[in-house]
Amino acid sequence: MATTPSSLFNDLKQALTTFKQFLDANTATLKPAITALKSVVPQVGTLLTQLIGLMDQLKTEINNLNAGAVGAGLTTATQFVTAAQALLNTAKNLLPNEAATIDQILSVVNVVSSLPSLDAIKAEIVGLIDAIKADLVTLNS
């Protein structure tokens, strides 16, 4: 099954959170080790610089996502999705042989219903990216 946008955002948020927690727990140990390694293996600095660049690119892409582009119709779309969800759940009980198809449609409905919170998720992800970038810059200095 394909990855849905909402699970993609949640997966990204989880990966960033895990990486940030690792950095928080290990920066004091990593900093002197990286400084020593950079004198022997200069590519370590290049790796950190590339990770910092990746964080910038990721932040740009996340900021380019615009849930507001849906505009004023978002409220109506949300009401439509809620009504469709109720209908599909009822139909699933009446049409058990079509449960797989209905589940596929429900997965799309769930993605659409998560759109109003996209800006909040974006803010969390951008905050994590900024914090990770700051840690990486500290490690690379």
pLDDT of residue 107: 83
Report DSSP state, residue 3: P
Indicate if the pLDDT at residue 111 is higher than 80.
no
Q: Are 135 and 23 in contact (CB under 8 A)?
A: yes
Site of tokens 């950190």? 48
Indicate if the pLDDT at residue 112 is higher than 70.
no
The set of residues, in sequence order, having a beta carbon less than 8 Å from that of 51 and lying 6+ positions away, is 136
Residue 25 to residue 12: CA distance in whole angstroms: 20
Q: Which residue has the higher pLDDT, 125 or 80?
A: 125
pLDDT of residue 7: 64
pLDDT of residue 2: 47
**3-state SS class at 41:** coil
Residue 100 to residue 127: CA distance in whole angstroms: 38
Q: Which residue has the higher pLDDT, 87 or 72?
A: 87
